[in-house]
Amino acid sequence: MTHFLISRTDNLGDVALTFPLCGLIKKLYPNSKISFLGKTYTSSLLKLNEDIDQIFCWDQWALNKDDQIIERLKDQQIDVVIHVFPNYRIAKLCRNASIPKRIGTFSRIAHFFTCNLKPFIFRKKSNLSEAQLNCLLLKPLIDDIRIPRREELLNYCNINLEKFKRAPFKEISKEKLNLVIHPKSNGSAYEWPLYKYREFIESLVPEDYNLIISGTEGEKNEIEQELLNPLGDRVQSIVGKYDLEEYIAFLSQTDAMIASSTGPLHISSLLGNFTLGLFPPDRPMFPMRWLPIGRRISFLTYRKGQAMKDLPIQLVVQKISKWYKLF
């Protein structure tokens, strides 16, 4: 049995786009074991993926001395570590733990003296998606590896919702299309202005849609002032209400989502919901790179030289209207 460690200690969307890499490993190495080194924050998302056998939380490990972490790594008897997200301390610790195969892209300084397998992967200029680029990290192990096409990526995501089943949430409607609007991104993406979301909501027929606003506790004041207070009973709010595990369970009971390129967009898409991403047109943030994985994902963008605020409301309304007809 080959034991793989995947190191990706960044955010939700980035972690979601690593799922096909896990599925590809399981296909190529059927008897392998996959451990994932991520953040405590993303561990609930990782629990969705049945291909991940073990989850380690780096923010907890990082509190220990290097010698202790090295011993922990040695105890795991890891054969291959894949540094999907560069972190010099982690890469150094894996080297000092004598993990036999240590994969990290050649272009990262963190990998130059710590990895012994360094594929040339240039993400910024590539037309591949982030998920496909992650799969390329297996090239040092299998030179003629076939990377999944975009339409195949979901086949490599072994999603299991059993751990997330809950009684129906009170905010969910049985009669209307449950549309979650996640307008903010904690600064991780270009955002459609809140006044645009407000105008979009005001243009919808209230009898057709159950509109639910989501966001973090830190975004609550701004969302309340710009959306919740002006819109009154046209919308419901779960802003800051649920932890990530509850939020995933909640989204699994909804039908659709609109958001910018942020974690909840990726979760919604993986769950099979109608999902609309609002993206800028320019590299490296453009949709060709960061579009979520899913069968019902779509996106809108605006022309180069314009700003996010120039994305027309009517285009968003047209997308949502198509969902309603399919609902």
> What are the pLDDT digits (tens) for 289-311?
999 999 999 999 988 878 889 99
70 and 142 in a single domain? The answer is yes
Residue 221's domain spans which residues? 166-326
Tens-place pLDDT, residues 195-231: 999 999 999 999 999 999 999 999 999 999 999 999 9
- Residue 255 confidence (pLDDT): 98
The CA distance from 136 to 21, in Å, is 9
Give the number of domains in the chain: 2
258 and 147 in a single domain? The answer is no
* Two tokens, residue 29: 């190495």
In the 8-state DSSP scheme, what is residue 156? G
pLDDT at 51 over 90: yes
150 and 191 in a single domain? The answer is no
The CA distance from 196 to 248, in Å, is 26
- Residue 324 confidence (pLDDT): 83
| Contacts of residue 64, Cβ cutoff 8 Å, sequence gap at least 6 | 72
Tens-place pLDDT, residues 242-265: 999 999 999 999 999 999 999 999
pLDDT at 232 over 80: yes
pLDDT at 182 over 90: yes
Mean pLDDT of 32-60: 98
pTM across the whole model: 0.96
- Residue 282 confidence (pLDDT): 86
Residue where one domain finishes, among candidates 160, 177, 207: 160
pLDDT at 124 over 80: no
- Residue 325 confidence (pLDDT): 82
Q: Among 48-52, 167-171, 186-190, 234-238, where is mean pLDDT lowest?
A: 186-190
104 and 237 in a single domain? The answer is no
243 and 115 in a single domain? The answer is no
Position 128: which residue type?
Answer: L
Percent of the chain as helix, strand, coil, to the nearest 5 = 40, 15, 45
- Residue 222 confidence (pLDDT): 97
Give the CATH number, domain containing residue 186: 3.40.50.2000
| Contacts of residue 221, Cβ cutoff 8 Å, sequence gap at least 6 | none
Pairing of strands 297-301, 274-279: parallel
The CA distance from 265 to 289, in Å, is 14
Residue where one domain finishes, among candidates 141, 160, 179: 160
In the 8-state DSSP scheme, what is residue 300? E
52 and 116 in a single domain? The answer is yes
153 and 219 in a single domain? The answer is no
What percent of the chain shows pLDDT beyond 90?
Answer: 89
Average pLDDT, the chain: 95
